[in-house]
Structure 1
Amino acid sequence: LSAGGGGLFGNVALNKVSCTSSRYFLSIETSKYYTGKAVVLSEVNPYTLKRGTDVDYVETMYAILSPRFLDYYTERFADTVKTYDMSGIALRDLGSVLSSDKKRTEMINRQEALDITKNSFKTLQNTGKKLLVHSGNAYSFAYTTDIVDAPLGSSKFFITDETIPFYEMVIHGYIHYTGSELNLIQCADRNDLLLDLIETGAAPRYVMSWENSDNIKYTGLNNMYSVQYELWDDEAENYYAEISKALKDVVNVPMVQHEILDNSVRKVTYANGMILYINRGSEDALVDGITIPAKWYRKGGLQ
């Protein structure tokens, strides 16, 4: 992997503990509601689009670890992971889950939980491994080299007029990032996904398996319903090639400006003078003397 420019990251969840774990004291180590009930949740039900509680299948349920135990588990994990021959650690929830503990005695508020979380990041950083976070909040930026599940769009509610990649403007050039897995996104026009990545400066991301994804249908990984490699290898190869062509000159360059022009064109400017024009319209557009084909992009500025 290293010879090819890649790296192996071990994936770990420190805040969400699977309810199938036999080495976890749920009643003691879980965050509490004001009522004293333990915070136990489940993944979003794809049929109802609601997040369940403690009435769902046990393999999809998880408990939220109390911040008072986070340092303990982080230190134990850090001591172990140092011995593993891998380049980094993928933190599945440390950069996105920040939970208080409303236990009647020894309550921990979210600000205190934030301080504990930052200390956990420092502990993991001291292992010498690179840190990758999922959906990284701002407090994780100082410690991470990579972010996956970065927010590349908006809710698209009717009240929303436009989508501005502010998050990406903050971190581009400093932290590498991707959005959600492209093979798990439902989209009428797959070309729109490609333009989203080019506009936001994000790398493509897929999750794949060699075996048929039917084999994980009745497991806690049943959200990965379309991950078989042979279904997606052609698209993934094409996407990686096109995005590399579009963004290769700005990989480590800050994004300094994002404009939405009158003719459905997005103009993205980088600190080195490079400009990307993304045409979201159904007709060709002329901007700054450059013709941008419908539903496509062009590069301008210093190249």
Structure 2
Amino acid sequence: MLVPDGTGSLIHLNNGKTNQEVYAQRLYGEDENDNSGRRGQITESARLPVFGLKSGDEAWYAVIEEGDGIASVNADISGRNNSYNHVYAGFAIRGEDEYELYKGTSIEEIQLLTEARYEGDIKVRYSFLSGEDADYSGMAKHYRGLLERRGVLKPLSAQGDMPFFLSVLGAVDKRKTFLGVPYKGMIAMTSFDAAGAIADRLQADGVANIRMRYLGWFNEGLNHETPDKVKVDSILGGKADLESLAGKLAAMGGKLYPDVAFQRVYQDEGRFTPASDAARFVTREEALRAPFNRSLNYMDRELGSYYLLSPAKLPYYVDRFLREYATVGNDAVALRDLGDLLHSDYRVNRVIFRETAKNVVTEQLGKIRDHYPDLLIAGGNAYALAYADQLVNVPTSTSLFNITDEAVPFYQMVVHGYADYAGQPVNLDDEQDVRTHLLRAVELGAAPHFLWSEEPSSKLKFTPYDTMFSIQYASWYDRAVEMYREVNEALSGLRTVKMSAHIRHAEGVVETKYENGASVIVNYTDKAVTVGGTRVGPRDFEVGGGSP
């Protein structure tokens, strides 16, 4: 059985009593605009509205085609609530919240529901599979074909090296003092010239296809002002330096993607008015959020805070950004949050459910794509796939809650051959062993992804960004280049080929098959193994087969 967890991966469960398996995902993350007792933790999103079940040589899977913005998937194993493995979709027709009423020494929780309800269509398409197709590989193949026929997925045609996804941290805000008086200042973690020097060094060492996502380049750094105006941060260099960096990367065969956030408003600088522009909770409070502090188990304002922009205001900011960004002279852009999480707006006279918000976001993605055909999208929810050329921060692992058995790379099996993609930055992952990340990338057909700065990470101490504790590029450079060389050698010839199957031969031994006959066997264990006559060394991989 496969159920959702906080990473967005598909998770396999099996209670040992049946031969059934359930495949399920949480959709587009937990609604950020939730003011209840659950609002402290925001999970990452599962990206595809798909769930299913297998029993023996028969299986079915379902695609939520309408109403997926308000949907969730519920699944459990047999023997807990009933005698069946079960999975089903649920839909939040009304907004729901809890309000705490303090009565002396006691607290009473009052459930709140919106008077308005979602009145749009809900549509779930079921498909039935049998024989060799009755597993998650068959489901991914069938779903992939459905998306291709609808024009959502378009096959990659250009051959060439695997990309090297490099997120670069530019400017951030930091508290400074003048004559003992504190004020908010800016520091440059990587100037435009320094980013160009890093690219030069990478090219000299054989890394040519650099996809650089530049974070914190305009409107006062990473947590920038609203993007209705675009002013390049002078602390990083001038507009001419930004254009020079873009030209340098293009000459190398790479691309520069300046990053922008639309749905999270980090600075209330006057052009944004929370009372009229921010989304609201069911309690009518303005949606002010903060990053989740895992060590303290609550949202920590010390890590910064931000408002959620009402979806009704999103078209205005996108239009203004497109007009202003045209003066920058770049032909690509990275979208930080339009392909990641959705949120609603429960304003009394303007209730916007997540399904409506999804439609608004999709319309804006199309508008941006019309101006800039090369988009790099973080997250990559299903509604964003039709507009993405490059994807980063896609799900590549699982939290392995006690009830789960294993992760299944359903997302990669759907997307591979249609867009280049990578997971979270390697150097900020809990797993710091680069070899493990290499093996995982080869298994998933993913490109390497790092977040780097020229300046030491220590400069971020005592700032909201101190979670970026290991981003100085000099500390990771040699290992990153070696990782890229191995990944590129293994996968460059398979970059445009669709995956046909994913097989787990034993604990820590997996095989990914491709439609051209190629096969990649990955051995995560400390002992050599033999699969189908192919010997794979400890913590190593082998690539074989395939058409020339």
Shift of 1:193: 1.4
Partner residue, 1:226? 470
Identity value in percent = 32
Shift of 1:182: 0.7
Matches within 5 A, 1:132-281: 132-187=376-431, 189-262=433-506, 264-281=508-525
* Contact 2:417 2:496 survives alignment (8 Å): yes
Q: State how far apart, in whole Å, the 2-side matches of 1:183 and 1:264 are.
A: 23
Offset from partner CA, 1:256-277 (integer Å, 9 cap, x none)? 2100013632110112211000
Offset from partner CA, 1:41-87 (integer Å, 9 cap, x none)? 111225325333xxx13x71111100000011011111222232323
* Contact 1:7 1:87 survives alignment (8 Å): no
- Identify which range, 189-198 or 271-280, moves more after superposition: 189-198
- Identify which range, 187-196 or 149-158, moves more after superposition: 187-196
Is 1:80 the counterpart of 2:320? The answer is: no
Q: State how far apart, in whole Å, the 2-side matches of 1:8 and 1:147 are.
A: 14
* Contact 1:30 1:66 survives alignment (8 Å): yes
Return 5+ residue gaps in structure 1 as ranges. Answer: none
Shift of 1:188: 5.8
Q: State how far apart, in whole Å, the 2-side matches of 1:208 and 1:33 are.
A: 36
Q: State how far apart, in whole Å, the 2-side matches of 1:189 and 1:49 are.
A: 27
Partner residue, 2:132? none
Indicate which of 23, 31, 39 corresponds to 2:287.
39
Partner residue, 2:530? 286
Is 1:5 the counterpart of 2:253? The answer is: yes
Q: State how far apart, in whole Å, the 1-side matches of 2:348 and 2:454 are.
A: 49
Q: State how far apart, in whole Å, the 2-side matches of 1:46 and 1:213 are.
A: 21
Return 5+ residue gaps in structure 2 as ranges. Answer: 1-248
Shift of 1:128: 2.8
Q: State how far apart, in whole Å, the 1-side matches of 2:403 and 2:319 are.
A: 45
Shift of 1:218: 3.3
Structure 1 residues 281, 300: CA separation in 2 closer, same or farther (over 3 Å shift)?
Answer: same
SS of structure 2 residue aligned to 1:203: coil
* Contact 1:147 1:175 survives alignment (8 Å): yes
* Contact 1:7 1:86 survives alignment (8 Å): no
Please tell me the residue identity of whatever aligns with 2:444.
T
Please tell me the residue identity of whatever aligns with 1:199.
E
TM-score normalised to the size of structure 1? 0.94
Structure 1 residues 210, 264: CA separation in 2 closer, same or farther (over 3 Å shift)?
Answer: closer
Q: State how far apart, in whole Å, the 2-side matches of 1:266 and 1:50 are.
A: 37
SS of structure 1 residue aligned to 2:543: strand
Partner residue, 1:29? 277
SS of structure 2 residue aligned to 1:37: coil
Structure 1 residues 235, 21: CA separation in 2 closer, same or farther (over 3 Å shift)?
Answer: farther
Please tell me the residue identity of whatever aligns with 1:31.
A
Q: State how far apart, in whole Å, the 2-side matches of 1:13 and 1:49 are.
A: 26
- Root mean square deviation of aligned Cα: 1.6
Please tell me the residue identity of whatever aligns with 1:47.
S
Larger % of strand: which?
2
TM-score normalised to the size of structure 2? 0.53
* Contact 1:172 1:253 survives alignment (8 Å): yes
Offset from partner CA, 1:101-155 (integer Å, 9 cap, x none)? 0111121111111111111001101113411111110000000101110000122
SS of structure 1 residue aligned to 2:293: coil
Q: Which has the higher contact order (CA 8 A, sep 6+)?
A: 2
* Contact 1:78 1:123 survives alignment (8 Å): no
